[in-house]
Structure 1
Amino acid sequence: MAPPEALSGDGAFTVRRHQPELVSPAKPTPRELKPLSDIDDQDGLRFQIPFMHFYSHKASMKGKDPAQVIKKALSEALVFYYPFAGRLREGDGRKLMVDCNGEGVMFTEADADISLHQFGDTLQPPFPYFDELLYNVPGSQGVLNCPLLIIQVTRLQCGGFILAYRLNHTMSDGPGIVQFLNAVVEIAGGAREPSVAPVWRRELLSARDPPQITCTHREYEQIPSNYDPIWTQESIAHHSFFFGPKELEAIRQMFSSYNNGQYTTRFEALTAFLWRCRTKALQLEPSQEVRFMCISNVRGKSNPPVLPLGYYGNGFVYPAAVTTAGKLCENPFGYALELVKKAKAEATVEYMQSVADFMVTKGRPCFVMPGTWIVSDTSRLGFRGVDFGWGKAVYGGPATAGAGPFPGASYYAACENAKGEEGIVVPFYLPLSAMKRFIHELDRVLGQLEQLTSFSDSLASLS
C-alpha cells in the first residue's frame, strides 16, 4: 500500500488518506452480464448518491481498526452481492446492464486529527469537511465503467470513525443499500453468510411485452428545459431543519380538521406543511405550475408481494401532484395535504409496471425538474442501526439535500438533537433569499401552534 497522503481540511484539521484501492470479492464469482430493471435504469437515477454514518468511540472495541474490519467484511459480503463489484455497460435503447467482472468497489482508509464532538451538537447535513471525508477518486464520478460503490472509512482522534460512501443509484434504493450494509455487519460479526439472501430478479420490474402504459405519469411530462423559476444565479443555501416529537405531533394535529375522517401520518402532515412553506418562500408567480413528487416504495404493497424478500434493486416510483403556486399558497393547508395523500395513493404495483413500460416506450426520460420538490422518507429504513461493533450510528443516512444533480429534493432522516430527542431532520437547497423567507415562514406558522422550536437562529449561519 502506498504511504498516506496528507490533506488539509480548511486549515482546521488534517486527513491522512491512504491510496484508494479496489476491494474485490473474497472468492471467485460468476462472470456474467446482468440487465438492470426498467425502473433501475431511468435517466433520473443515473447518478451517485452520497451517505454518511458517524460512530462514537467504544471502549470494548479498543485495538480494533474499523477500516480493516469493514474492508475484510466488505470483501466477503461481495461474494454474495457480486454485482456491486462489477461495472455498468449500456446497450441498445440505453439499456443498462452490469458486467459482473469482479473488479471491485473503491475503498479508501484515512485518519483525521479531529474528534466527533467538533462536528457539532447535532449531526445533520450539510456536514463540514465533506470533501475530505469522502475523497472524490479521479475517474470514479461516472455512471458507466466506474465503481458502483466508493467507500471511505476515516478514523477520528477520539476513537470514533466516519463511514462515507457513494452509491450508483441505478443499483439500489435505500432499503437495498441498508440490506447490503447489514450483510457486511453480520459477516463482520462472524456470520458465514447474510441472514437475508440477496435476490437479483430485476426482470420482475421490466417492461411488459408489448408495453402498456396504463397510468398517467405527470412526473415525466416534457416542459421547456430552459425554464426554471427556482434556480437562479443567486447563491444557493444548504440547510437542515430538525423536527422533534413535539413539533411533529403539533403539525399533525394542525391538519386534523382537514383529514375528512382519514388518519393523517406524520409524514403526510410534515410534507404538506413544508411544501406549502417552501412554495411561499420561493415567491413564484401565482400561475406557475409546481409539482410535489413522493418517493413511494412498493415493497409489501401487494399480496403476494411483487418483490421477494432480499430484493435489493430500486423498488419505488414517484407520482406527481401538480397544482399552481397560487392555489397551493392561497388555499388552506388542507389543500396541500389532499395533494400529498393523492400522490402517495397512486404508488401501486400497477403504477410501477406502467412506469417500466413508459421507460421503454419513451427512451428512459428524466422526471420534471422545474418547479418540482421531491421527498424521500429514509427515517425508517434503519441507516442509524447499521452497527459494525461500535454501536448505533450517531447519524446515518443521506449526506446532502438534493438528489445528485437535482437540487429540488429533500431526504427525511432519523436524527437525535443535542437534547437527546429523537426526530426527523429535513435538508433543503434553496436560493439564499428564499431560504431566509422559508425560515421566517416556518417560525411564523409554528409560533401559532405552541411554544415550539424556533429556527430564527439559523439565519445567522446563512449571512
Structure 2
Amino acid sequence: MGVKGEFKVKVNKKEVVAAVLPMQEHWLPQSNLDLLLPPLDVGVFFCYNKPITDSSLTFGSMVSVLKKAMAQALVSYYAFAGEMVENSVGEPELLCNNRGVDFIEAFADVKLQDLNLYNPDDTIEGKLVPKKMRGVLCVQATELVCGGLVVACTFDHRVADAYTANMFLVSWAEMAHSKPLTLLPSFRRSLISPRRPGFYNPSLDDMYVPVSALPPPKPQHPNADHLISRIYYVQADELSRLQSLAENSGIGHKTTKLEAFSAFLWKMVAAGVVEGDKICRMGIVVDGRLRMGGGETDRLKLMNTYFGNVLSIPYGEKRADELRERPLSWVANTVHECLESAVTKDHFLDLIDWVEAHRPEPALAKIYASGGEEDAGPAFVVSSGKRFPGSKVDFGWGKPMLGSYHFPWGGEAGYVMPMPSPLGNGDWVVYMHLLKSQMELIETHAAHVFRPLTFDYLLNLV
C-alpha cells in the first residue's frame, strides 16, 4: 500500500491544441443548471500499459495521435476550446473563440506498477492530473519509465458534468480511430429553459441556497481534521451482500446497489461522530437527462446528447445516533426516499425556475457548504459513475488498465464516486474524498468492503 519510491514529473512541452476547422466566435450562455456550479475543476485520468502489439508506437507517436484526434473532436465539442468570462451582470458565460486546449507533455521517473494508486494525493494530484490555468479543458500526457502512459484531463465543471465529459472522452477516442462520432453534442439551451411564469416547490429552498445566505465557515484550526483522497475497490460479492442486507420486503421497492452502498457509507460516517448527536447529511447526484426527456422520443434523444450540466443533489439528514442504531435496511430506505424527490421531470423544471427566481445572485447545493451550522456534523455526496466509459477510451494502443475521476472539490462535504472496475467482473472502483478520520474508521471497521486499489488487483485484467 505504501509508495514504492518518490517520483518526479518533468514537463517537456506545452502547446495549445485548437479545433482543426475555424469557427465563428460566439457566446454560449450558461443554463440555469450550469449556474448552480461554483468554479470547480474536475480531473480524470487513464493509465495505459506499454503497447505490445505495435512496437512502432512511441510516446511521441502516441502524443501525435492524441493531439490530432483532439483537434478533430473539438470541432463538435467546441465549448471545450473556449474560455469562461463574465457577462454584464457578473454571471459566467462561455466565449466560444477556439482559444484551444492546453496540452502538456511530461515524463515521470516511475513505472506504472510502482504508482501508488490507492493514494492519489501523493501520486496523481499535482503530478499526473494537470492544474488548469486557462480555458475550459487542460490535458496532460505523461510518459512513464516502463513505456506506459497516463492521459489526464482537467475540465471546468461549470461547463460540463461527468456525463458530458464521458461523451467527449469517447468521441476523442473514436476520432483517434477515424470513426464517425457515436454521439454529436447538442448545445440547445432551450431544452432546459425556465417556464413562463415560473414556479417551484418551496422544498428547493432546503436543497439550494444563494451564496449570500450561506453561514460563515467555521474557523479552521491548524491540527483540524482534513479531507484526503483514496481509491478503493469493492468486490461484486460484497456489493451483493450489502444489497441483500439493505433489502426490506415491506417497503414495496427493490433496493439498488447504489442505495445500499450509500446507506452503508452513511452509517460508517455517522459512527465516527464522537462529539454530540450531530446531524449527518448524505447527498446523491441525480442526472436529469432521462427525467427531462419526459418519455418523448425526440426530446429524449436530444437530452441524451445535451452538453452541459443536468444535475441535482438531493440530500437526507439524520442524527448520528439514529443512523448508528437503525438497521441498514432503514437507512437504505431513507436514501431511497431522498432520491424519490429528485428523479422526476417536475423536480428539474422546478429547479430551473428556482435558479431563475434568484438570478443573477449565484447559488449552490446546500450540502456543498453546510458545515457552518451549529449542530452540523459530517456531510458527503455520492455521485454514481456507472456510465464511466473506461474501456471505450482506447486511442489505438489498447484499453486503459485503469481510469478514474479525481475530484478533491474543495467543499466542506466529502465526495464519493463509484465506477465500474476495469476487470468487468461487477466490482467497483471507488474514488473517495473524505475526512482523514473517516477514512481511518472505514479502513479499520470496513476493510472487508473497501480494499485499497493496487497494481496487483489490476493485473487480473484480461
TM-score, with structure 1 as normaliser = 0.84
Stretches of structure 2 that go unaligned for 5 or more consecutive residues are 372-377, 455-462
- Cα distance in 2, alignment partners of residues 94 and 279 from structure 1: 39
Q: What is residue 263 of structure 2 aligned with on the other side?
A: 272
Q: What is residue 19 of structure 2 aligned with on the other side?
A: 25
- Cα distance in 2, alignment partners of residues 422 and 169 from structure 1: 28
Q: What is residue 310 of structure 1 aligned with on the other side?
A: 305
Q: What is residue 61 of structure 1 aligned with on the other side?
A: 54
The answer as to 2:172 corresponding to 1:184 is yes
Q: What is residue 366 of structure 1 aligned with on the other side?
A: 364
The answer as to 2:6 corresponding to 1:12 is yes
> Contact between 1:39 and 1:206, CA under 8 Å: does it hold in 2?
no
The answer as to 2:331 corresponding to 1:329 is no
After superposition, residues 343-382 of structure 1 pair within 5 angstroms as: 343-347=338-342, 348-362=344-358, 363-368=361-366, 369=369, 370=371, 371-382=378-389
User: 1:92 deviation in Å?
Assistant: 4.3
> Contact between 1:66 and 1:153, CA under 8 Å: does it hold in 2?
no
| Partner AA of 2:280 in structure 1 | V
Q: What is residue 196 of structure 1 aligned with on the other side?
A: 183
Task: Assess, with a 3 A threshold, how the Cα gap between structure 1 residues 231 and 434 changes in structure 2: closer, same or farther.
Answer: farther
User: 1:273 deviation in Å?
Assistant: 0.7
Which of 31, 50, 58 aligns to 2:43? It is 50
User: 1:425 deviation in Å?
Assistant: 2.7
Q: What is residue 102 of structure 1 aligned with on the other side?
A: 98
User: Which deviates the most, 421-430 or 226-235?
Assistant: 226-235
For the residue of structure 2 that corresponds to 1:62, the secondary structure is: coil
Q: What is residue 424 of structure 1 aligned with on the other side?
A: 428
For the residue of structure 2 that corresponds to 1:165, the secondary structure is: strand
- Cα distance in 2, alignment partners of residues 378 and 456 from structure 1: 18
After superposition, residues 87-126 of structure 1 pair within 5 angstroms as: 87-120=83-116, 125-126=120-121
- Cα distance in 2, alignment partners of residues 395 and 457 from structure 1: 10
- Cα distance in 2, alignment partners of residues 72 and 454 from structure 1: 39
Q: What is residue 387 of structure 1 aligned with on the other side?
A: 394
Stretches of structure 1 that go unaligned for 5 or more consecutive residues are 1-8, 141-145, 444-451, 459-463
> Contact between 2:232 and 2:453, CA under 8 Å: does it hold in 1?
no
Task: Assess, with a 3 A threshold, how the Cα gap between structure 1 residues 101 and 237 changes in structure 2: closer, same or farther.
Answer: closer
User: 1:454 deviation in Å?
Assistant: 7.4
Can you list the C-alpha shifts for 1:379-399, whole angstroms capped at 9, x where unaligned?
Answer: 333134311112222211212
User: 1:196 deviation in Å?
Assistant: 1.6
Q: What is residue 31 of structure 2 aligned with on the other side?
A: 37
Q: What is residue 173 of structure 1 aligned with on the other side?
A: 161
> Contact between 1:378 and 1:413, CA under 8 Å: does it hold in 2?
yes
Can you list the C-alpha shifts for 1:118-151, whole angstroms capped at 9, x where unaligned?
Answer: 115x6674461532223436xx1xxxxx310010
| Partner AA of 1:303 in structure 2 | G
For the residue of structure 1 that corresponds to 2:392, the secondary structure is: coil
| Partner AA of 1:408 in structure 2 | G
Q: What is residue 411 of structure 1 aligned with on the other side?
A: 417
For the residue of structure 2 that corresponds to 1:51, the secondary structure is: strand
- Cα distance in 2, alignment partners of residues 80 and 159 from structure 1: 32
TM-score, with structure 2 as normaliser = 0.84
RMSD of aligned residue pairs (Cα, Å): 2.9
> Contact between 1:291 and 1:321, CA under 8 Å: does it hold in 2?
yes
Q: What is residue 136 of structure 1 aligned with on the other side?
A: 131
Report % sequence identity.
24
Task: Assess, with a 3 A threshold, how the Cα gap between structure 1 residues 177 and 127 changes in structure 2: closer, same or farther.
Answer: farther
Can you list the C-alpha shifts for 1:175-223, whole angstroms capped at 9, x where unaligned?
Answer: 11111111111111113x5232211112322323333123512222555
| Partner AA of 2:430 in structure 1 | V
| Partner AA of 1:23 in structure 2 | V
- Cα distance in 1, alignment partners of residues 289 and 230 from structure 2: 31
For the residue of structure 2 that corresponds to 1:336, the secondary structure is: helix
Can you list the C-alpha shifts for 1:223-255, whole angstroms capped at 9, x where unaligned?
Answer: 523349999723544333321111101111111
Which of 125, 134, 138 aligns to 1:150? It is 138
- Cα distance in 2, alignment partners of residues 456 and 23 from structure 1: 36
Task: Assess, with a 3 A threshold, how the Cα gap between structure 1 residues 406 and 20 changes in structure 2: closer, same or farther.
Answer: farther
- Cα distance in 1, alignment partners of residues 111 and 452 from structure 2: 28
Q: What is residue 299 of structure 1 aligned with on the other side?
A: 289
User: Which deviates the most, 432-441 or 75-84?
Assistant: 432-441
| Partner AA of 2:365 in structure 1 | F
- Cα distance in 1, alignment partners of residues 64 and 23 from structure 2: 22
The answer as to 2:231 corresponding to 1:240 is yes
Task: Assess, with a 3 A threshold, how the Cα gap between structure 1 residues 352 and 325 changes in structure 2: closer, same or farther.
Answer: same
Task: Assess, with a 3 A threshold, how the Cα gap between structure 1 residues 429 and 80 changes in structure 2: closer, same or farther.
Answer: closer
User: Which deviates the most, 26-35 or 200-209?
Assistant: 200-209
- Cα distance in 1, alignment partners of residues 33 and 271 from structure 2: 33
User: 1:171 deviation in Å?
Assistant: 1.3
> Contact between 2:26 and 2:96, CA under 8 Å: does it hold in 1?
yes
Task: Assess, with a 3 A threshold, how the Cα gap between structure 1 residues 238 and 310 changes in structure 2: closer, same or farther.
Answer: closer
> Contact between 2:234 and 2:451, CA under 8 Å: does it hold in 1?
no
- Cα distance in 2, alignment partners of residues 254 and 337 from structure 1: 10
The answer as to 2:443 corresponding to 1:442 is no
Task: Assess, with a 3 A threshold, how the Cα gap between structure 1 residues 422 and 50 changes in structure 2: closer, same or farther.
Answer: same
> Contact between 1:241 and 1:427, CA under 8 Å: does it hold in 2?
yes
| Partner AA of 1:214 in structure 2 | N
- Cα distance in 2, alignment partners of residues 433 and 413 from structure 1: 24
For the residue of structure 2 that corresponds to 1:377, the secondary structure is: coil
Q: How many residues are matched?
A: 428
